[in-house]
Amino acid sequence: MTRTLRLLYVLTFFGILVILGLWSLVSFGSFSKTEQMTVLNGKFTHALEGHYDDEFPIKRLGTNLWAAVDYKVFKEGRPGVVLGRDQWLYSDEEFDPIAHGEQVEADNLALIKGVATRLKEHNIKLVMAVIPAKARVYPEHIGEVKPAALHADTYQRLHSELQRDGIAAPDLLGTLEQGKQQGQVFLRTDTHWTPMGADLVAKQLGSFIASNTPLNATPVQYTTTAAPAQPYKGDLTNFLPLDPLFSNLLPKPDDLSQHTTQAADNGSGGGDMFGNSDVPVALIGTSYSANPHWNFVGALQQSLNSDVVNYAEDGHGPILPMLKYLQSDGFKNAPPQVVIWEFPERYLPAKSDLSSFDPNWIAELKDVKKNQNLAVGQND
| Residues in the chain, total | 380
Residue 150 within a domain = yes
Statement to judge: residues 10 and 150 lie in one domain: no
Residues 6+ apart with CB under 8 A from 160: none
Per-residue pLDDT tens digits for 224-273: 999 999 999 999 999 887 666 667 778 999 999 999 999 986 544 444 43
Residue 65 within a domain = no
Could you check whether the bond before residue 244 is cis, i.e. omega within 30 degrees of 0? yes
Residue 74 within a domain = no
Statement to judge: residues 161 and 303 lie in one domain: yes
Other beta carbons within 10 angstroms of residue 185's beta carbon come to 24
Statement to judge: residues 169 and 239 lie in one domain: yes
- Domain containing 167: what range? 91-378
Statement to judge: residues 37 and 162 lie in one domain: no
Does residue 192 carry a catalytic annotation? yes
Query: How far apart (Å, rounded) are the C-alpha atoms in residues 34 and 28?
Result: 14
Statement to judge: residues 268 and 372 lie in one domain: yes
Residue 79 within a domain = no
Pair 165, 113: CB distance under 8 Å: yes
Does residue 153 carry a catalytic annotation? no
Residue 231 within a domain = yes
What region, left, alpha or beta, does residue 80 occupy, with left being phi > 0 and alpha being psi -120 to 50 degrees?
Answer: left
Query: How far apart (Å, rounded) are the C-alpha atoms in residues 80 and 237?
Result: 10
Statement to judge: residues 330 and 230 lie in one domain: yes
Statement to judge: residues 219 and 122 lie in one domain: yes
- For each of the chain's 380 residues, which pLDDT tens digit applies? 577 777 776 677 567 656 656 655 555 555 555 555 454 554 555 554 555 455 555 555 555 555 566 666 666 778 899 999 999 999 999 999 998 999 999 999 999 999 999 999 999 999 999 999 999 999 999 998 999 999 999 999 999 999 999 999 999 999 999 999 999 999 999 999 999 999 999 999 999 999 999 999 899 999 999 999 999 999 999 988 766 666 777 899 999 999 999 998 654 444 443 334 478 999 999 999 999 999 999 999 999 999 999 999 999 999 999 999 999 999 999 999 999 999 999 999 999 999 999 999 999 999 866 665 554 454 44
Statement to judge: residues 121 and 253 lie in one domain: yes
Query: How far apart (Å, rounded) are the C-alpha atoms in residues 172 and 192?
Result: 15
Statement to judge: residues 243 and 296 lie in one domain: yes
Which residue in the list 190, 199, 235, 254 is annotated as catalytic? 190
Residue 184 within a domain = yes
Statement to judge: residues 241 and 353 lie in one domain: yes
Statement to judge: residues 325 and 275 lie in one domain: yes
Does residue 306 carry a catalytic annotation? no
**How many separate domains does the chain show?**
2
pTM of the model: 0.80
- CA 104 to chain CA mean position, Å: 20
Query: How far apart (Å, rounded) are the C-alpha atoms in residues 38 and 132?
Result: 49
DSSP 38: -
Per-residue pLDDT tens digits for 282-322: 999 999 999 999 999 999 999 999 999 999 999 999 999 99
Helices 57-72, 43-55: crossing angle, 10 deg rounding:
40
Statement to judge: residues 162 and 261 lie in one domain: yes
Which residue in the list 287, 289, 303, 306 is annotated as catalytic? 287
Query: How far apart (Å, rounded) are the C-alpha atoms in residues 380 and 164?
Result: 14
Residue 361 within a domain = yes
Which residue in the list 151, 159, 192, 259 is annotated as catalytic? 192
Q: Which helix H or strand E contains 155, and what residues bound it? A: helix 154-164
Residue 107 within a domain = yes
